[in-house]
Homo-oligomer: A and B are copies of this chain.
């Protein structure tokens, strides 16, 4: 009290509250964690005392005692990739509602960095959500053996996952383009080691070959705007009339490059993206794209993980979320090639 320096006084502990109220520390603990086990009157006195002292439980001590830290790790390639913010936000909302905080980690699309991030977060969280992993199946399995793990946008046998199915969306896109009269299509591919790229590429192949359409595969590219610009030139050289891009960022790049080269979208060339990021609808022309329910993915992944944490030995469970084609103005009928 007579200290001259304004150093912050040490945080009050549970014992301080107990002393003040005249109960045992364990009762104070109960009042916070299992209120129904404490008489209402006692509980209220404890709450009042805690408030007056400015007491709140020390998370680390609770964690050590219970073996739970009430934190989830969320590992994503890159929050600057507009695919992820909605997912992250949804995940955080669910986690918070259940009393969990979210540790965010980046991988920068790099398998090694990803592994490091995963390991760092695994040490501090009760469980992990890993999105669009580029780490090998074996490594992921090894991690899942010691950590509660939910994958997003990646399938590994034995590990729970939320998958954003994109084959159906690709098929819809192809059907849509065929209906518009297109007979020669290009796919501007994403990274080779991307699971969703492989899904999309395969769906592109089967859908086009089933229909006897000419299919040209461009790439692989890094999934970015400027790669889309490259792809546009390649597509033009190949003489296709429609181009499906691995994602919206690339599709926007395609669209932009075509406009710059004086090729009108959609009159001369149709463009389709994937993801339906926010800017797709605002672009000119508004982008036809395969919408992926990223919010739902964030939500489901978190719920899955939370359930894993509660149930202990839950069996692998897979949530498959459907993609749907959103038709806007970057696709149009073939004007008699």
Which residues in A have some Cβ–Cβ distance to B below 8 Å? 7-8, 54, 56-61, 63-64, 69-71, 74, 78-80, 82, 85-86, 88-89, 92-93, 96, 101-106, 117, 120-121, 123-124, 145-146, 225, 252, 256, 259, 278-279, 282, 284, 313
Contact = CB atoms under 8 A, between A and B. Distances in A.
B78 A89 contact: yes
A102 B104 contact: yes
Contacts of A103: 71, 101-104
A139 B194 CA distance: 46
A7 B101 CA distance: 26
Nearest to A79: B85
A-B residue pairs, 8 tightest by C-beta: A60-B63, A60-B64, A104-B104, A79-B85, A80-B85, A59-B124, A64-B64, A101-B103
> How many copies of this chain?
2
Given A61-B64, A282-B256, A146 B8 contact: yes
A92 B106 contact: yes
Nearest to A88: B79
A114 to B, nearest CB: 13
Nearest to A61: B64
A279 B224 CA distance: 12
28 contacts: A8-B145, A57-B123, A59-B69, A59-B123, A60-B63, A60-B64, A60-B69, A61-B64, A63-B64, A70-B124, A71-B124, A74-B104, A80-B85, A85-B85, A92-B104, A92-B105, A93-B106, A96-B105, A96-B120, A101-B103, A102-B105, A103-B104, A104-B104, A252-B282, A256-B282, A256-B284, A259-B284, A284-B284
